[in-house]
Amino acid sequence: MREALIVWGGWSGHEPEQCANIVRDMLEEEGFKVYVHDTTEAFADPGIKDMHLIVPVTSMSKIEKEEVNMLTAAVKGGVGLGGFHGGMCDAFREVPEYQFMCGGQWVAHPGDIIDYHVDVTKPDDPIMEGISRFPYHSEQYYMHVDPSNEVLATTTFTGEHAEWIDGTVMPVVWKRRYGQGRVFFSALGHIASEFAVPEMKTILRRGLNWAAREA
């Protein structure tokens, strides 16, 4: 049986506990044994190297050096890492090695909660299979991203809320490698209610499955 670790915490505005519980249920439906912790101290456990998947839901948190070292070593060694929105890619702003592993870091969401579209760039990838362009109502993440990411979906900024980025095409969903580990990220999922959007939930479910090692 595949095992997954979910660690939640940080800024309450992203509803980390509620989102962590939804992801727990999702992974259990996929056959995972899931461990849920509410402190980054869980990353310091040497046993995380035996996990198949780690899911951080920890927006704007702090992490100790021992914790980030154990986490990055586990992923380099082959443990999958997957997550969404600020819970993964705005988690530990002061830790470049963590951002190097994730492949991106949030920097802005012009206009805050707005209507925009998500464009599928790799429709033949199994994570995006059967999903076409869809509307979304949430924060439109502007991110600093790693050019080595394999981008699966993007969004285009109109410039309405920041005229100098008009026409900028920004990755929304990507996958990558970090050492021997698979890393998946989706920028969708500001609060728990967004899991009701079928495309958002399907992309995340498939992405987490892809990131996890085989049992």
Domain of 168 in residue numbering reads as: 3-211
The per-residue pLDDT for range 112-123, each reduced to its tens digit, is: 999 999 999 999
How large a percentage of the chain has pLDDT more than 70? 100
pLDDT of residue 215: 61
DSSP symbol at 191: S
Cα separation of the two ends of the chain: 6
- CA dihedral 141→147→153→156, nearest 10 degrees, is 50
Total number of domains in the chain: 1
The per-residue pLDDT for range 46-57, each reduced to its tens digit, is: 999 999 999 999
The per-residue pLDDT for range 152-182, each reduced to its tens digit, is: 999 999 999 999 999 999 999 999 999 999 9
Residue 83 has pLDDT above 80, yes or no: yes
pTM of the predicted structure, to 2 decimals:
0.97
Q: How many CB atoms lie within 10 A of CB 167?
A: 8
Instruction: Report the CATH number that the domain containing residue 205 is assigned in CATH.
Output: 3.40.50.880
What 3-state DSSP class applies to 7? Answer: strand
